[in-house]
Structure 1
Amino acid sequence: MTARHQRPLGRRKLLVALGGAAVAAPAIAAIAPHALADNGTDASGAATEAAGTLPLTVVNETGSFGNGDVHLYVVGNLDGKQVRLAPDGTLAPIALSDNGADGYTDYAISLSGSGATQLSLPYMSGRIYVALGEKLKFKAVTDGAGNAALQYPAGWVSSDPNYGVLHDCAEFTYNSSGMFCNTTMVDMFSVPMAIRLTGAKDQTAGTVRAGGRAAAFEAVRQVPEFAPLVIDDTRIIAPGHGLDAGLFAKDYFAPYIDEVWSTYTGKDLTVTTNAGTFTGRVRGEQFTFSGPASVSFARPSTRDVLFCDGALAAPNDGTTGPVAAILGAGFNRSTLLASAAQPTTDPAAFYGTELTNHYAKAMHAATEDGRAYGFAFDDVADFASYIQDTAPTGIRLTLTAF
């Protein structure tokens, strides 16, 4: 088992803090660079052509929206500076002067009049957003360090100017080490899309099965605790964001958490990672593990479980991080009580209890290969919609049928 959080690039390192803003405001991008190349600008700050461009193909197969109704945005950072992709394949720095009379930037890239749209993707780390029917409102602001930054769409915040816009995104880091990318439902699910990555291998990720979007909406609606997360036919909000917005119970996982703590007071839990096997038992309020290193965890809250953060935060240290990720996956998949040896790798055992992450369950059921990013540690045992290639030759983003 090689969980992605143990690889050089993990989602929480790839895109730090995106989607993690407070409910009251959109997220300001803070995308972590990973051995990236030049910052995409010359000494004057003008856009320059970055080396190592990768062909990016965008295909509209929604069946509901014409190419003229699809707006594309490629935004992120390079060498610690925030940038956006221009239609000609150059990277331009984010600038406060880009805000128009309405107070927002217009970084939209139009699709070709018909057929596939061909673009060139330079080295950068970021997100590819798509908006259907109307454009997204990205606002250039000044961050805490005095640099120009973007406020990203927060589709789970009712006051966000993009709340009514049908939109979604894929995430990536492209650098001299290769392309690392995923489709994501960690924050929300709205637009079905798939990634195809060619190079040393030919791989796909995130393909939603026929009727899968509607089935996911219906599955979440059928669970009373999760039903408020469905926003009309626009999106399903992830339960962590729903909790912060008052749409999801703050103590939802409490009975399961308490039972885990009680169960492993009297017996051991083993957690196998790339670093070796850890053996843990609850002592007092701490779940303490010995093995390659001594690590311990306080009793998590429901929010900690849903965000895989707080008491379940996973530092990139090779020991605490992998154990935290496996515990987080076990809570979300409700497998910790079924087996005292983790991680559970048989998907037939996931989400088998009434008290489980029904949102993540619906996301996995919606995809053709059963892989999805329903929560941040969904990469445990390789069940995330993530692919990588160290010798990429092209990437294709397909907006699939609703």
Structure 2
Amino acid sequence: MTPRHQRTVGRRKVLFALGGAAVAAPVVAAIAPHALADPAPKSGTKAAAGPLPLTIVNNSGAFDNANVHVYIVGNQDGKQVRVTPEGTLAPISLSDNGPDGFTDYALSLSGSGETRLSLPYMSGRIYVALGAKLKFKAVADGNGNAALQYPAGWVTSDPNYGVLHDCAEFTYNTAGMFCNTTMVDMFSVPLAIRLTGSKDQTTGTIREGGRDAAFAAVKQVEEFSRLVVDDTRIIAPGHGLDAGLFPDDYFAPYIDEVWSTYTGKDLTVTTNAGTFTGRVRADRFTFDGPAQVGFDKPSTRDVLFCDGKLAAPNDGTTGPVAAVLGAGFNRTTLISHPAQPTTDAATFYGTDLTNHYSKAVHAATEDGRAYGFAFDDVADFASYIQDTAPTGFRLTLTPF
């Protein structure tokens, strides 16, 4: 499988486009979520055909089916859409807002047992809300088109801040099904996805006691402790930084050490385009290889969001190198391993100063895969699966 950080669409740009509501002004989702696929099937592969059977299973043990609400929202052909209970697509409309100013796009689960739905071609998110419904607001975007404000569980002023909720992401089109469980923004509800088709795959399953262990692990690290919101969610440190809950210079000592280390020796980064060899010159990390690419010294925020000085354009050269650097910073493997990307998970997060949030959510999953930061797919450690000939998709709320 081609590593996702080497594909044509960058996660980080997509993540910001689906950021939900910000403190100062709402942000409207404009393009598809993180799980983006190639636009067409590869030669010789079987194309996905028609609506995909979707099964929702509530094994949470904490909420019965009547108190679990599902939302399927996203984009198709550049337009924002939602899935109706009948499995059809409906455009987002300003008239969908009710008297309270919000839409009600909730899909109810069956009275008991599994709930079977139908998923049409689209890119989007499947949200689950437990105990209360989510408040999505239809608004006009900058071009006057109807768009949707997404929940932002990391923003205290967001109307959904008090609602226990989470989501999985997907792109389903003629090329197949491409999906993940995500903790890039936050971790709250244990979710697992199973994709059947040319093979049977599962990822995202939280091990027994894993949710509690993740909350406890993050809470015991002083700089990360304020990211834990009661028993509701853990906010990702990047969002915590923006909210004043996380130190904006946390990674500064490690960043400085990386710059100092590679002033005197080379770092190699291997991508699909080839191997790049880099060294810090005049305070800029410059790489030679298939192309010359360079990076100014990033900030802690740049590291956590894999953006800013570590932005990954879709150019096939700078983008892949930036993704590998972003992963190396978050996993704190850059100094110990001068050949990147590192593929031995036992070497990740081995320093006291590391991304303890990502470390905790990886430790919480049965397969060790999670999306703790935007380029956690580097070396295939993300909770991401795909199939070019899918026959069914299953989303399970696993025990708390």
TM class by shorter chain equals over 0.9
Fraction of identical pairs, as percent? 81
- SS in structure 2 opposite 1:360? helix
Amino acid at match of 2:284: Q
CA-CA distance at 1:11 after TM superposition: 3.5
Of 342, 360, 375, the match for 1:344: 342
CA distance in 2, matches of 1:371, 1:314: 22
- Work out whether 1:257 is the aligned partner of 2:255: yes
CA distance in 2, matches of 1:277, 1:21: 40
CA distance in 1, matches of 2:245, 2:19: 17
**Corresponding residue of 2:31:** 31
CA-CA distance at 1:8 after TM superposition: 5.1
TM-score (norm 1): 0.94
Asked whether the 8 Å contact 1:26–1:154 carries over to 2, the reply is no
Provide Cα deviations, 1:139-166, integer angstroms capped at 9, x if missing partner. 0000011100000000000000000000
CA distance in 1, matches of 2:218, 2:323: 24
- Work out whether 1:125 is the aligned partner of 2:120: no
CA-CA distance at 1:28 after TM superposition: 1.1
- SS in structure 1 opposite 2:167? strand
**Corresponding residue of 1:224:** 222
The total of aligned residue pairs comes to 390
- SS in structure 2 opposite 1:140? strand
CA distance in 2, matches of 1:214, 1:294: 45
**Corresponding residue of 1:152:** 150
Asked whether the 8 Å contact 1:14–1:172 carries over to 2, the reply is no
Q: More deviation in 21-30 or 267-276?
A: 21-30
CA-CA distance at 1:339 after TM superposition: 1.1
CA-CA distance at 1:19 after TM superposition: 2.2
Provide Cα deviations, 1:229-271, integer angstroms capped at 9, x if missing partner. 0000000000000000000000000000001001101111010
- Work out whether 1:308 is the aligned partner of 2:283: no
Q: How does 1:140-179 map to 2 (within 5 A)?
A: 140-179=138-177
Amino acid at match of 2:387: D
Asked whether the 8 Å contact 2:269–2:339 carries over to 1, the reply is yes
* 1:93–1:20 distance in 2 versus 1, CA, 3 Å: closer
Provide Cα deviations, 1:48-98, integer angstroms capped at 9, x if missing partner. xxx710000000000010000000000001000000000001100000000
CA distance in 1, matches of 2:242, 2:13: 23
* 1:35–1:349 distance in 2 versus 1, CA, 3 Å: closer
**Corresponding residue of 2:197:** 199
Asked whether the 8 Å contact 2:37–2:175 carries over to 1, the reply is no
**Corresponding residue of 1:88:** 86
CA distance in 2, matches of 1:73, 1:119: 12
Question: What are the ranges of 5 or more consecutive residues in structure 2 without an aligned counterpart?
Answer: 41-48
Amino acid at match of 1:253: F
Provide Cα deviations, 1:179-232, integer angstroms capped at 9, x if missing partner. 000000000000000000000110011110011000000000010000000000
- Work out whether 1:292 is the aligned partner of 2:295: no
* 1:25–1:157 distance in 2 versus 1, CA, 3 Å: farther
Q: More deviation in 20-29 or 136-145?
A: 20-29
Provide Cα deviations, 1:274-324, integer angstroms capped at 9, x if missing partner. 111000000112100000000000100000000000010111111101100
CA distance in 2, matches of 1:35, 1:356: 33
**Corresponding residue of 1:382:** 380
CA distance in 2, matches of 1:255, 1:55: 49
Provide Cα deviations, 1:1-52, integer angstroms capped at 9, x if missing partner. 8421213565346666212764434431122486879xxxxxxxxxxxxx71
- SS in structure 1 opposite 2:291? coil
CA distance in 2, matches of 1:20, 1:356: 27
- SS in structure 2 opposite 1:353? coil
Could you say what the CA RMSD is over the residues aligned between the two structures, in angstroms?
1.7
Asked whether the 8 Å contact 2:326–2:375 carries over to 1, the reply is yes
Amino acid at match of 1:28: V
CA distance in 2, matches of 1:79, 1:160: 28
Question: What are the ranges of 5 or more consecutive residues in structure 1 without an aligned counterpart?
Answer: 38-50
Asked whether the 8 Å contact 1:181–1:387 carries over to 2, the reply is yes
**Corresponding residue of 1:60:** 58
Of 274, 277, 280, the match for 2:278: 280
CA distance in 2, matches of 1:273, 1:197: 28
Of 380, 386, 389, the match for 1:391: 389
CA distance in 2, matches of 1:309, 1:21: 19
Q: How does 1:89-104 map to 2 (within 5 A)?
A: 89-104=87-102
**Corresponding residue of 1:3:** 3
CA distance in 1, matches of 2:280, 2:317: 18
- SS in structure 2 opposite 1:265? coil
**Corresponding residue of 1:40:** none
CA distance in 2, matches of 1:98, 1:153: 17
CA distance in 2, matches of 1:199, 1:26: 39
